[in-house]
Amino acid sequence: AQSVTQLDSQVPVFEEAPVELRCNYSSSVSVYLFWYVQYPNQGLQLLLKYLSGSTLVKGINGFEAEFNKSQTSFHLRKPSVHISDTAEYFCAVDTGGFKTIFGAGTRLFVKA
Amino acid sequence: GAVVSQHPSRVICKSGTSVKIECRSLDFQATTMFWYRQFPKKSLMLMATSNEGSKATYEQGVEKDKFLINHASLTLSTLTVTSAHPEDSSFYICSASSPDRGSMEAFFGQGTRLTVV
């Protein structure tokens, strides 16, 4: 069975600092990987996705993630965060049947 | 990207009543739709998989008689919470997909905040 582990439940960071949100997955088959952002009382917004090809994936709002098959990781990074990046971030995996399995989420809190 | 619309965005209902939540794919035909539930400050838990024209497949621990799912057309799936109780209060999100789109991702609705009083 597939599973997703987000290693940090909360990540506080100062504005303009870099940030990395960690995600590890387990699956015996090829996976598609996603990062979503959820602002308070809102639905999900897709940040980026890895389907195949280049392991470095660039998304919206300056975020990027790197797929590392040997370490089964898909960490999300941003070189300089803004206050507006404060939100909940979910790493997710799909084994091709469109059934998405989510991690527990990481709360990014950007401080002034 | 594709658009998935959920309605209503918020609903308050009395204990013991039923409430229906709609999930529509606006610009594509969705052969499969998924329903998720999110508890406060928690992740999204898959409740069921809905395939057009067939019975939904429920995840372990989800009561199919309480959470009725109907996928009567390729653009609409509904989730009905029957005899709602306060513990059913939650954020419900649907997603829709279709292999014909050529995109290996599911598209999510904006969610429905259900409060049972």
Q: What is the dihedral of CA B95, A102, A100, A4, to 10 degrees?
A: 170
User: pLDDT tens-digit profile of B94-117?
Assistant: 999 876 655 667 888 999 999 999
pLDDT of chain B along its 117 residues, tens only?
A: 678 999 999 999 999 999 999 999 998 888 889 999 998 878 889 999 988 888 899 999 999 999 999 988 989 999 999 999 999 999 999 999 876 655 667 888 999 999 999
> How many CB contacts within 8 angstroms connect chain A with chain B?
53
Q: Is B44's Cβ below 8 Å from some Cβ in A?
A: yes
For residue A27, the tally of other CB atoms under 10 A from its CB is 16
Report the C-alpha gap between B36 and B27 in whole angstroms.
Answer: 21
The sign of the dihedral angle between the CA atoms of A69, A75, A79, A84 is: positive
- A46 vs B contacts (CB less than 8 Å): 1, 105, 108
Yes or no: say if B97 and B30 are a contact pair by the CB < 8 Å rule.
yes
pLDDT at A85: 96
| pLDDT bracket for residue A10 (50, 70, 90) | very high
Residue of A nearest to B49 (CA): A99
| pLDDT bracket for residue A106 (50, 70, 90) | very high
Q: Is A66's Cβ below 8 Å from some Cβ in B?
A: no
pLDDT at A67: 94
For residue A98, the tally of other CB atoms under 10 A from its CB is 23
- B97 vs A contacts (CB less than 8 Å): 98
Check CB contact under 8 Å for A94 and B105: yes
Yes or no: say if B2 and B25 are a contact pair by the CB < 8 Å rule.
yes
